[in-house]
A and B are shown apart, each in its own frame.
Chain A
Amino acid sequence: MLSDPVRLLDGGVAIEGRPILRGIDLTVHSGEFVALMGANGSGKSTLVRALTGLRDLTSGSLSLFGTPLEQFHDWHRVGFVPQRSGAGSGVPASVWEVVASGRLTHRRLFRPLSRDDRRAIGEALEVVGLTDLARLGVSTLSGGQQQRVLIARALAGEPDLFFLDEPTAGVDLPNQQALADTLAVLSGRGATIVLVAHELGPMAPLVHRAVVMRDGRKAYDGAPLADHEVHDPAFGEPHTHHHHAGRRDHAHAPHVAGPFEGRRP
Chain B
Amino acid sequence: MIDLLSTPFMQRALIAAFLTGLAAPAVGTYLVQRRLALMGDGIGHVAVTGVALGLVTGASPTWTAVAVAVVGAFLMELIRERGHTNGDVALALLFYGGLAGGVLITGLDGQSTAPLQRYLFGSILTIAPGDVLVTMGLAAVVIVLCVGLAPQLFAVAQDEEFARVAGLSTRAYNILVAVVAAVSVTVAMRTVGLLLVSALMVVPVATAQQVTRSFRTTLALAMGLGVAASLGGVLVSALVSYRADVAPGPAIVLTSLTGFLLAWPVGLLLRQRRRRAAPFAGVVPPEHLTTEHPHEHGEECGHRAVQHGDHLDYVHDGHRHAAHEKHYDEH
Contacts and interface: CB of A to CB of B under 8 A. Distances in A.
Interface of A: 52-54, 73, 75-76, 78, 80, 82, 85, 87, 89-94, 96-98, 100-102, 104-105, 107, 109-110, 135-137, 140, 142, 150, 153, 157, 163
A107 B150 CA distance: 12
A136 B161 CA distance: 23
Interface string B148-166: 1101101101110111111
Interface string B34-75: 110100000000000000000000000000000000000000
Interface of B: 29, 32-35, 37, 148-149, 151-152, 154-155, 157-159, 161-168, 205, 209, 212-216, 218, 274, 278, 281
Contact of B166 (A75, A85, A98, A109): A75
Contacts of B205: 91
A89 B158 contact: yes
Given A52-B165, A92-B218, A142-B281, A98 B158 contact: yes
A137 B130 CA distance: 44
Contacts of A101: 151, 154-155, 158-159, 162-163, 166
Nearest to A85: B159
Contact of B35 (A90, A96, A104, A140): A90
A100 B37 CA distance: 25
Nearest to B222: A91
The 7 lowest CB-CB distance pairs between A and B, nearest first, are A75-B167, A94-B214, A80-B165, A101-B155, A91-B33, A137-B213, A90-B32
A137 B214 contact: yes
A62 B315 CA distance: 58
A137 B19 CA distance: 30
Chain B binding surface, main DSSP class? helix
A165 to B, nearest CB: 9
A136 B164 contact: no
A104 B165 contact: no
B164 A153 contact: no
B162 A80 contact: yes
Contacts of A80: 161-162, 165-166
A92 B213 contact: yes
A91 B167 contact: no
B161 A93 contact: no
10 contacts: A54-B164, A75-B167, A85-B159, A89-B34, A91-B29, A92-B212, A96-B214, A97-B154, A97-B214, A101-B158
Contacts of A73: 167
Given A80-B161, A82-B159, A140-B274, A90 B34 contact: yes
B37 A90 contact: yes
Nearest to B271: A140
A136 B154 CA distance: 17
A197 B214 CA distance: 32
Contacts of A89: 33-35, 157-158
